[in-house]
Chain A
Amino acid sequence: MDTRAVLREYIQLELMFDSAQKQLSDDTPLVSSGILDSTNLLRLIAFVEERFGLTVRDDELEFDNFRDVSSLAAFIDRKLSRAT
């Protein structure tokens, strides 16, 4: 599974449809680009938990884990590898 591709698809389809940000790459900053606002962050967390079968703990909700698609994918992959 290509975690980055899964994340890009979700973010582009669900979180960017009315966003000023039109292009998404793996290193597009999710917060400063306006993609991750108060409600989109909650939606993204819910998606990650359901799609990847994870629980994102409060102490894992750090900027470095959600900086961009690459960072988030690395975070998810680390949790998945620890789970197996």
Chain B
Amino acid sequence: METRLTISPDSIVYWQSGPIVLNATIVFTWVVMAMLVIGSWLITRNLTTAPRITRWQNLLEIVVSYIREQIREITRQNPDPYLAFLGTLFLFIALSNLLVIVPEFQPPTGSLNTTAALALAVFLAVPIFGIASRGVVGYLKEYTRPSIFMLPFNIIGEFSRTIALAVRLFGNMMSGTLIGALLLAFVPLFVPVVMNLFALLIGMIQAYIFAVLATVYIGSATRTRKMEEREHALEEREERVRETVSSEDEEREESMDREERRSRETETEEREEREHEESHKER
């Protein structure tokens, strides 16, 4: 049995002519793209809003609405401008990590080229979305927050987090496939199955992490000053409402306590009077 013990699917070449190389990375990227595009086209051919929808349309609706809600929660803005980019990112990485279960499938995210390309896409998308929502000056001013001395650190941070995105995804997927292939040579039958399950779990988590980090970066770049002030005002108003409500509750409790005490006092007074009378009667 031939096990592909390579560090990346780039070295598995199917066809080559001159500078054009058709390696496993490209072929399996095409496979994932085809599955996503053709699957979605087949399902969305007859979209209906009738009460009965096909289960495939139901599946797509669940996926899209869940991604939308996550983006809205994380960025706290309208998620529609970012849904296409971030949704595609998540679906591509998740599907390519999920298909590891299929034998002979080399995940394209196991190659540093693919992950670097995806990280580069995020690196370019952040200023594009930021400038679209705040303008060039507004976006560039973000680099001088909280102070102008942080400017080199912010710039270095941009580059380093892009590299971190690429290497994190690549490292996780490459180690998963490599350990699976290695164990298949030494301990066949049970241990590779467990490692494959683990690689599957890690793959889905990494897809989620990649998309969430991209969302956080884009969200922090597009959050405008006005929105921050509005959020501040909302929080302050909520606090004031909570204070007044709690102070009203306290007043009500105090008045209730006073009434209770008064009623208890009158009760004891009456009881004492009655005892007095009885003692008087006895005498």
A, B: real partners: no
- Residues of chain B at the chain A interface (Cβ within 8 Å): none
- Residues of chain A at the chain B interface (Cβ within 8 Å): none
